[in-house]
Amino acid sequence: MGDYLRLLTVNDRDIPLATLQRAVPDVAIWSVDHPGTLGNYLAIGPELHALQDVWATIERNPVGPNTLGAEEVAEFIDSLESGGPPSAVRWLSDYLETIRAIYAIRIYPEAILQHPQAEDAVYAVRSALREAVGGIGQWDGQGFTNEDDRLIWCDPRMNLQGKKEAAILDESTGDWIPLELDLDNPEELSQFLRGEFPKKPRGR
């Protein structure tokens, strides 16, 4: 998993802390003040207020004029041409212009490796965020996912591995066509980046 998992949403409502705590009742989630700045972030870990053992933190960045969130969105839009498929580039260019908030989940890999349940807990919290406000995902080292959480865009320069639930946009209907993508297969990845469905070998 990358150092950051982001949820980009057009919904700017606040999510009650209790909503996320209910998603992982056996894990500690608490609010921490930002030193020297307004606002706070959430910490996820095995024990309440044990900052030295935190598995991940969640920061909410609103997107508006002259905000950090707006700068991030601009950077994402600028990066789209480095990857594909082309239909996802066009769709994301429009969608990203409507984003109102970014939830940035920062992962601490060393702490997670010491706790087998930590990775599942972080993903459960991310799922609770998605359920509360919807949106699309941005994964460091992977790319963007659509509102169904399927991979729709990636940069071939990234370290892409494994099989992923993906989708290609049918621009004539506006529907996402689902597929399973083998990122370890260079030909399959190239076809995806061109917006083509991977050609599976025929059985004999």
pLDDT of residue 40: 67
Q: What is the CA radius of gyration of the chain?
A: 18
Residue-wise pLDDT for 160-174, tens only, equals: 899 999 999 999 999
pLDDT of residue 3: 86
Residue-wise pLDDT for 75-133, tens only, equals: 999 999 999 999 999 999 999 999 999 999 999 988 888 888 899 999 999 999 999 99
Residue 89, number of CB atoms within 10 A of its CB: 20
Percentage of the chain exceeding pLDDT 70: 93
Residues whose CB falls within 8 Å of the CB of residue 60, separated by 6 or more in sequence, listed in order: 39, 41, 101, 102, 103, 104
What CA–CA distances, in Å, run from 109 to 30, 116, 123, 166? 19, 12, 14, 25
Res 35 pLDDT > 80 = no
pLDDT of residue 32: 87
- Domains of the chain, by residue range, sit at 4-164
The residue that leads in pLDDT, 204 or 130, is 130
pTM of the model: 0.89
- What torsion, rounded to 10 degrees, do the Cα atoms 108, 112, 117, 122 define? 10
What CA–CA distances, in Å, run from 26 to 21, 47, 114, 188? 9, 10, 16, 40
pLDDT of residue 2: 52
